[in-house]
Structure 1
Amino acid sequence: MELRQSIQHQIKDYLIITLGLIIYSISVTCFILPYEITTGGVVGFGSVIFYATGFPIQASFFILNAMLLILAIRTLGWRFCLKTIYAVIVLTVLLDLVQKFMLHYGAVHSAEFVLSPKGFPQIVKNDAFMSSLLGATLNGIALGIVLLNNGSTGGTDVVAAVVNKYKDITLGQILMFIDIFIVSSSIFVSGTSVSILLCSYCTLIVTSLMVDYVMDRGRQSVQFFIFSQKYEELANAITKTHRGVTVIDGEGWFTHTERKVLILLVKRRESTNIFRLIQSIDPQAFVSQTKVIGVFGEGFDRIRAKAKKSTPVNDDALKEQKAIDVASKVIDKPLE
């Protein structure tokens, strides 16, 4: 039974990751490439090469990721890299297919659209800033969907994960440094104008904000306090939904009546089911629901914290402190 559920969860993850990759490939091709805007990551690096030389983005994306993954497998292990390998292969194919479709569509409907130097139709006509905002928003949503389902698009994510494993630097700091470097390089490599460079920086910021928004919404949890005479029936029903319940003793101070209180934490998307259970079992129950900043543990997010490096012991200082302690005991008076 557990194996079957695990397989179902894995299939669900891969399907949702694929949806995120489809959105990402459409966003890049329809809103980013027509104005030669540069994004972060390996796709952004590939776009810089594409604008300068015409070498396909999907080819450079695949080659660079293949090299990075070969180096990362030994450090991060197959478990981390498996979904990344899947995402890299699927995104490479999707970028190729969507670009071919848009180039063909632009050629057929050239009278209706302004075409970029590479032949991509400008869906948002003559407005690079609005196009960059739409592209960044969709990019952030797509990447958030992928990350929420334990996926990764590879590239700079892999580099950041490797560096983070050995250095006390956050993933966000590493990714931001790499992305700023990639975007800044476009003005020298492909001759990007200052206005497009500013649009590229806006794309980075909006994408980052949207990723955080999607991740926070997807991981948001809520806490319930339930006061009910039918607490046993409610607790049993909630437990069947594979969520734990804590029962504590409470007392109504106005009536001095002892009452059991149920406490539980669930994902925000599961709160509707909890309300339905309460409504069906005890419509008279008193319920308090609050948002929580984070929940860590079984069934929720894992605790992610790196242990601080221990400070080497100074032998001379330790000996000096021991001598002071001995002298203090002899004269029965604290020494400084």
Structure 2
Amino acid sequence: MRLKNILMIIIGAGLFSFGLNYLVMPNGLYEGGATGLTLILYYLFKIQPWVMNIIINIPLFILGWKILGKRMLHLSLLGTFAVTFWLAIFERVPLVIDLDHDLMIVSMFAGILSGMGLGIIFKAGGTTGGSDIVARIGHQYTHYSIGQIILAIDILVLVLTAIVSQDLRVVLYTMLQVTVASRVIDIISDGGYGSKGLMIISQKSEEIATAIDSQIERGVTLIKAQGFYTRADVNMIYSVIYKSQLQETKDLIHRIDPHAFITITDAHEVLGEGFTLDKNKQPIEN
């Protein structure tokens, strides 16, 4: 792990935890994913989120380690423990942010801080564990995409939030907060759980394609191409990945070929195997 990535994840975790501890929790708001579950347990049983963050994530990391392998979990482990560390610290530092109990301002401010923190973490190649690990495992054993599984988890947590809070206003402000955070994540890291199209030109196209297929677990297409000036034949790589995998993929390509030419485009809608296509569906033969 690079020192820069480590520092970015620690800083991002600090921003995320700051917003959670000083804005979300004092105003009775919630979150999506595993963090939302820790807040539900906090409001019900007064168990501190930093404690539940460890309790929830340890078995998920053990499961992820066995199923997904240790390589992709290193930075996620750092992100999870950094969030736990900051939450434990902030719990002991009294600070009141007076926003006149205006939940509109609170939810937007919390969303901005949360999005900044998570965006920095994603940009550094890490995650905060939780639903991300569940989604990756689920994607490996079902035909649902990572984005679909994470969305399902967020919806489930919001339903639980509605049941626990019994206050539609709180649920709506939580949705606003999550929406703002998602947008900020996109701005900072070009992350989130949408998709990006990559076109890669390299003299090591076979090695890069194999690495994307085995390590990123995304499909790869090789397109025959020719350089205009050199007239040299080359295999151009085309692959569609999740935005959350973008930084990891760029680092992977750079390690194999620092001189690789890469173009990255927004994939506004992706249909087909690995994204929306049920793997049990077979093409109709004429």
TM-score band, normalised by shorter chain: 0.5 to 0.7
CA distance in 2 between counterparts of 1:13 and 1:212 reads: 18
RMSD: 3.4
Identify the range of structure 1 (170-179 vs 137-146) with the bigger mean alpha-carbon deviation: 170-179
CA distance in 2 between counterparts of 1:214 and 1:172 reads: 19
Structure 2 residue aligned with 1:29: 21
Distance 1:69 1:313, change over 3 A: same
Q: CA deviation at 1:183?
A: 2.1
**Which of 129, 136, 160 is 1:161 aligned to?**
136
Structure 2 residue aligned with 1:214: 188
Q: Larger Cα Rg: Structure 1 or Structure 2?
A: 1
CA distance in 2 between counterparts of 1:74 and 1:203 reads: 34
CA distance in 2 between counterparts of 1:151 and 1:127 reads: 33
Q: Work out whether residues 31 and 124 of structure 1, in 8 Å CA contact, stay in contact via their aligned partners in 2.
A: no
CA distance in 1 between counterparts of 2:51 and 2:114 reads: 20
Q: Work out whether residues 31 and 131 of structure 1, in 8 Å CA contact, stay in contact via their aligned partners in 2.
A: yes
Matching of residues 187-198 of structure 1 within 5 Å:
187-189=162-164, 191-198=165-172
Identify the range of structure 1 (17-26 vs 85-94) with the bigger mean alpha-carbon deviation: 85-94
Opposite residue 101 of structure 1, the aligned amino acid is: V
Matching of residues 168-247 of structure 1 within 5 Å:
168-189=143-164, 191-216=165-190
Q: CA deviation at 1:170?
A: 2.4
Structure 1 runs (4+) deviating above 3 angstroms are 246-249, 295-314
CA distance in 1 between counterparts of 2:78 and 2:166 reads: 32
Distance 1:310 1:131, change over 3 A: closer
| 2:140 aligned with 1:140 | no
Task: Please give the per-residue CA displacement for 1:224-259, whole angstroms capped at 9, x wherever unaligned.
Answer: xxxxxxxxxxxxxxxxxxxxxx9845xxxxxxxxxx
CA distance in 1 between counterparts of 2:263 and 2:30 reads: 33
CA distance in 1 between counterparts of 2:42 and 2:281 reads: 49
Distance 1:164 1:77, change over 3 A: same
Question: What is the TM-score of this pair, normalised by structure 1?
Answer: 0.58
**Unmatched runs of 5 consecutive residues or more in structure 2:** 197-225, 230-248, 255-261
Task: Please give the per-residue CA displacement for 1:13-52, whole angstroms capped at 9, x wherever unaligned.
Answer: 1111111111111111121111110111221110111111
Matching of residues 78-89 of structure 1 within 5 Å:
78-89=70-81
Opposite residue 137 of structure 2, the aligned amino acid is: V
CA distance in 1 between counterparts of 2:144 and 2:154 reads: 16
Q: CA deviation at 1:312?
A: 6.3
Structure 2 residue aligned with 1:100: 92
Q: CA deviation at 1:59?
A: 0.7
Using the aligned pairs only, state the percent identity. 22
Task: Please give the per-residue CA displacement for 1:105-158, whole angstroms capped at 9, x wherever unaligned.
Answer: 4xxxxxxxxxxxxxxx34322201110111011111211111111101000011
Opposite residue 175 of structure 2, the aligned amino acid is: Y
**Unmatched runs of 5 consecutive residues or more in structure 1:** 1-6, 106-120, 221-245, 250-294, 322-336
Q: Work out whether residues 9 and 78 of structure 2, in 8 Å CA contact, stay in contact via their aligned partners in 1.
A: no
Question: What is the TM-score of this pair, normalised by structure 2?
Answer: 0.68
Q: Work out whether residues 21 and 87 of structure 1, in 8 Å CA contact, stay in contact via their aligned partners in 2.
A: yes
> Residue 169 of structure 2 aligns to a residue in which SS?
helix
Structure 2 residue aligned with 1:266: none
**Which of 31, 34, 40 is 2:32 aligned to?**
40
**Which of 253, 268, 282 is 1:298 aligned to?**
253
> Residue 35 of structure 1 aligns to a residue in which SS?
coil
Structure 2 residue aligned with 1:90: 82
CA distance in 1 between counterparts of 2:283 and 2:171 reads: 50
Q: How many residues align?
A: 221
Distance 1:301 1:310, change over 3 A: farther
Distance 1:187 1:123, change over 3 A: same
CA distance in 2 between counterparts of 1:77 and 1:68 reads: 12
Structure 1 residue aligned with 2:199: none
Distance 1:181 1:122, change over 3 A: farther
CA distance in 1 between counterparts of 2:104 and 2:183 reads: 17
CA distance in 2 between counterparts of 1:148 and 1:175 reads: 19
Structure 2 residue aligned with 1:74: 66
CA distance in 2 between counterparts of 1:81 and 1:30 reads: 29
Structure 2 residue aligned with 1:63: 55
Q: CA deviation at 1:298?
A: 3.3
Structure 2 residue aligned with 1:280: none
> Residue 99 of structure 2 aligns to a residue in which SS?
coil
Distance 1:313 1:32, change over 3 A: closer
